[in-house]
Each structure stands twice: as structure tokens, then as C-alpha cells.
Structure 1
Amino acid sequence: MLNAATHYQVDYSDLSLVLALVRGGTLARAAALLRVDVSTVFRAVRRLEASLGQALFEKSRAGYLPTSVASTLAEQAERAEQALEAARIGVELGAEVISGTVRLTCTDSVLQGILLPALAQFMPNYPALTLELSTSNDFANLSRRDADIALRLTNTPPEHLVGRRLGTVSYRVCASAGYRQQHATQEWAALAWIAPDDFLPDHPTVAWRRQHLPGVTPSYRCNSMLSATELVRAGLGVAALPDFLLGEKHGLQPLGPALAGYDTALWLLTRPDCRALRSVVTLFDELGRHVRLPGHSL
């Protein structure tokens, strides 16, 4: 990666300098992060590049753009920063600290309705633990090793993953209070329907609608249940939504009972190789203890 002829040994101050300029993008913002003046940052960068025998940044109208070498150094600097923070917290607390980065994936609706309330209960107890969240509708994240833990709504979790079944999610046809009052006398088939698009062809609400309302063509199609929920909240129509997105705080009203026979299980999943990582095991166990579904006491 670096010019071996220089024999220069990169130290923590060098990493801090590179990380500040990568984060700031300009000399002025990097100087503010490092609490020094702009000329000091400029001279330090020039000196480091000369010592390494190669450029770390490209000057452009947008600011300082990192080369691949600078990006790699910045990643190492972030790891060092996290390690130092974990050590500091450990000294302050006088206890063993769980640290590291855990990548978690779920759908946006599960994030809003289920995951966030759980995280709020225990994440403050792990100040050295970094959580990277991504929203996705498939299992490829874990299969490609892009994620360590997944919260998924499915009745058939992949066999190559391991985990726990946390409960059952039901679905109900819902509308906003205004839409329900305005269309109180109409049959369900005559209402404006909001539904998942072809990205979720096997969603249980799609299967239910095709069986019970085969003549209905949705007026709106969404690539996520959270988006469908927002359209219902706006009074644009009705949709079959998961029960964890209902309730007074969401401003939605069910038009009938849960859709019988179309429940979905909520699974907490990980890869077998992740069970050796303390950070992943800790987060996995905490989620298992704190995730709650409507009508369930786990």
C-alpha cells in the first residue's frame, strides 16, 4: 500500500490528521476538528505525503478528496478511535466493556415499529458498541456477510442461519379516521387500495388480497410497508398493515379483525460464524430480551 522505500512509520497523530480531513473535506473543517489553524493542517498533510512518498488527497472544487490510501488510513483511524474510546469507558466504569461494530438489517417498518423501542431500552448501556443499521427486504445481507444480525418477518427462515422466533405478527385492513368515516357505507372492493409492489410479491397481505378480493387493482403500490402505512395515514386509501404499526399514535383504525391464516413469524437471525463474536452475541441476546410485539409477553 505504502512506498516501502520511505520506511516511514505512521503514528496515531498521522491517522488523526487523515481522518479529520476525510471527515471534514476541507482544510478549514479539518482544522476545526483538530482544534488547530488551517496552515498547521496544510503543512502537516504536505509533510505526511512527503514522508510516505505519495499523495493522500486530490484537491478539487469540492475540497480535498481522499485517495484509496487515505481512505484505508481513515478506516484504521476510526478503529483506533473506537478502541481508545472503549478503553476510556472501561477505565471510567471499572468494568469489562463490550465494544466493536455490529451490522444489523431489517425492513424499515420493523425498524420503526419494533426495533427502535427495543434499542432505546438497552443501547445506552453499551456506549462503546457501534451499531450499523440497514433496511432491506431480503436475506442476502446475511448470506453475503453484509450484516451480522437480521430481524425478519418470515415463516420459513433460511436453514443456513440460526436464531430465535420472537413472536407472531398479524395483519388488519386499516384506514385513517377521515377515510373510514367518508367511505363507511362502501364495500371493501370499492375502496382505494394501497399495497406492496412487485418487490414483495409473496407478502402475506398480497396473498390475502388476491384470494379474497381478486378483482381489486391497487390504486397505489409501495416498495415498503412503512410507505404504505404513510399513504393510509394521509387518507389516500386502505391497506392491510402489520399490527405493530397500528394504534392511536399512528392515527390508523382497523376496519375488521386480523386476517385469519396470514400471520407471519418474527425471527431474530444471525450467521453461525458470528456466534464467536462477543459484540454480536451481546446484541443478539439483548434484542431477544427486549423486542416486544403487540399482544406478546416475551
Structure 2
Amino acid sequence: MPLSSEDLLVILALCREQTLDRAAAWLGRDSSSVFRAIKRIETRLGTPLFSRSKSGFEPLGLTRELAEKGREISETLRHADNIASQLDLARFEKLRVTTTDVILSCYILPNIDQFRAKYPGTHIEFNTSNQFAKMWERGFDVAVRPSSNPPGDLIGHFLRPLDYKLVHGSNYLPKLKLSGRAIQGGDWLLPGGTLTNHPVRKWFSQQVSNPDTVTQFDSMNLLVQAAKSGLGLAALPGLARITDGLVTLSDVEVPEVSELWCLYHSSNRENPLVQAFVRFAKHCLDG
């Protein structure tokens, strides 16, 4: 059975990203489906495509040539969508932005009137899916998202570092037992659902034992609101508008670090509307 274009894109993603989690994020899928897809392709071809090491998945034999075919498909999809987006612009100025719900509600929406005042004819479409948007398919014009490994085939503007703080509402009394970095007990508010690859979950599983309760959210915005309502402890990005009104537990260090980026495809390098939104995003996240 011949390989499909989707098969080649899966090979490209794992060859490029080298880990299942990062390949899944790039494809907008979960890591288990990427693993199953690679195994299915290897069975169909009758030969392994990758070797697994401590650093991740290493391509074998002709795997890089197959990945190159996947890259060509990705480029074709980009160009096709670019043509379609230009047809959109012929009707009206439209800007498609993907970001997280908490960044949108805390930083972008409070300032969006400034952008609309400068570009009154613009139609803005926001998407807050927790799965990384398929920018390689040009599904969106701009992404404003946390990432520790922004896609190399996109133009990236670093906005700011993201550290994490353990916080709780002023009306919540944390009951924790601390032994070095080990933590016992407590009511915990965690990312869940499509956010199960969030770095905070890894930290939690390694450092916290015998929690009193665990409540999971498929939305960082709802998680923040739960913390401010006094429902428990949360490790949140250390951004002022997110942690305002919350109490920080300075005795507990959350070493996870990420970065906030503004990303767009190279075909939008000269797009004045995209460039204007990049400047606007930098202004929103400044300080």
C-alpha cells in the first residue's frame, strides 16, 4: 500500500522534532496517535524508520528522504492556503490569530480597541484551541503562544520568558508537608484534557505525593479563575495580570521554564496587517 501525504507529514514531524510530544504538538495531535502512526507505517514498509535513544528518535536509512517529501507537501499546502488567504483579502482584511485563552483574556482583549482603532476595517478571528495550531498548513496568520521549541520553519519574535510560580487565593489555607523539594498533601489545580503535555504536570508528578484533592481543567483561564476563587494550589505563569491577587508560596520552587513567542509564516513577512499585530502583541506583553 503506498504512503499517503499524511504519512509523509508524520515522518517529517518526528524527523524534525525528534520526540513524540513535540512531533504531536507540531501536527496538532496527541503523542500516542503519532506513535501508532509511525508503527503502522513501519509495518506497511516492512522496515524501521527510526531508532530510539536518550535524545529521542533518530531517522534511519532513507527516512530523511521521505521527510523531505513531507516537507514538499507542507510547502505546497502553505502556498495553496496563501492563495486562498489572498482571495479573502480581496473581500476584506481578515486576520486569523491563535493564542491561549489566558493570554487572550488577560493581555490581548484588554488592549484590542487600540488595534481596532488603527485598523478599523479588519476582521479578527481568534482561536484558543489548546492544541498547537497547524501553522504549517497556514490555518492561522499569527500565533501568540508559549513554546520551549518554536517551529524552525516559521518566523519567530521572542516576546518574553515564562517562569512559573506556585500560587493560591487569599482565602485558601494551604496544608502542605515539605521535605526538600518533595511535597505532600494539598488541593491541586492542574491542566488536563488537551493540556496533559503541559510542563507543570511533569513537575507535579515528580514532586507531589499523596495530594488531598486534584482538580483538572482543559482551560488555563478557568484554572486561573479557580485559583482566585480559593479552590486550591496552582503553578501558573509568573505574569502580573495572571497572578494579580494571588498569594505566592515562595518556599516552593517550580523550575519549569518556557518562552512566549509570536510566530508567523515567511509568506507574511511583508504583510502589513500581520506585522502590525506582531508589534501590537509585543506592546501587550511588554513589562
Please indicate the TM-score interval, normalised by the length of the shorter structure.
0.5 to 0.7
Contact 2:163 2:258 in 1 (8 A): yes
| 1:102 alignment partner, one of 87, 95, 100 | 95
Measured in 2, the distance between the counterparts of 1:208 and 1:104 equals 30
| 2:276 alignment partner, one of 264, 279, 282 | 282
Measured in 1, the distance between the counterparts of 2:94 and 2:162 equals 29
SS of the residue 2:112 aligns to: helix
Contact 1:118 1:287 in 2 (8 A): no
Measured in 1, the distance between the counterparts of 2:88 and 2:171 equals 54
* Matching residue of 2:145: 152
1:247 counterpart letter in structure 2: D
SS of the residue 2:150 aligns to: coil
Long gaps (5+) in structure 2: 1-86, 178-182
TM-score (norm 2): 0.60
Contact 1:107 1:137 in 2 (8 A): yes
* CA pair 216-77 structure 1, distance change in 2 beyond 3 A: closer
* CA pair 164-270 structure 1, distance change in 2 beyond 3 A: same
* C-alpha RMSD of the superposition: 2.6
The offset of 1:118, in angstroms, is: 4.1
Measured in 2, the distance between the counterparts of 1:78 and 1:164 equals 24
The offset of 1:257, in angstroms, is: 6.2
* Matching residue of 1:38: none
1:172 counterpart letter in structure 2: K
1:237-296 CA-to-partner distances (Å, cap 9, x unmatched) read 111111221113xxx2212268453121000000111223222222223323x1325xx3
Structure 2 residue 167 is matched with structure 1 residue 174:
yes
* Matching residue of 1:6: none
* CA pair 241-281 structure 1, distance change in 2 beyond 3 A: same
* Matching residue of 1:111: 104
Structure 2 residue 224 is matched with structure 1 residue 262:
no
* Matching residue of 1:225: 220
SS of the residue 1:193 aligns to: strand
1:235 counterpart letter in structure 2: G
1:255 counterpart letter in structure 2: L
* Matching residue of 1:138: 131
Contact 2:165 2:238 in 1 (8 A): yes
The offset of 1:115, in angstroms, is: 2.0
The offset of 1:154, in angstroms, is: 0.8
Which protein is bigger by CA-based radius of gyration?
1
Contact 1:172 1:257 in 2 (8 A): no
**Percent of residue pairs identical:** 27
Q: How many residues align?
A: 194
TM-score (norm 1): 0.58
Structure 2 residue 276 is matched with structure 1 residue 291:
no
Measured in 2, the distance between the counterparts of 1:102 and 1:257 equals 44
Contact 1:106 1:151 in 2 (8 A): yes
Q: Which moved more, 1:228-237 or 1:165-174?
A: 228-237
Alignment of 1:43-58 (within 5 A): none
User: If each structure's strand is expressed as a fraction of its own residues, which one has the higher value?
Assistant: 2
The offset of 1:186, in angstroms, is: 3.9
| 1:238 alignment partner, one of 223, 233, 246 | 233
1:270 counterpart letter in structure 2: Y
Structure 1 stretches of 4+ with a deviation exceeding 4 A read: 76-80
* CA pair 285-212 structure 1, distance change in 2 beyond 3 A: same
Q: Which moved more, 1:226-235 or 1:278-287?
A: 278-287
SS of the residue 1:138 aligns to: coil
Contact 2:189 2:215 in 1 (8 A): yes
Measured in 2, the distance between the counterparts of 1:78 and 1:277 equals 11
Long gaps (5+) in structure 1: 1-75, 83-99
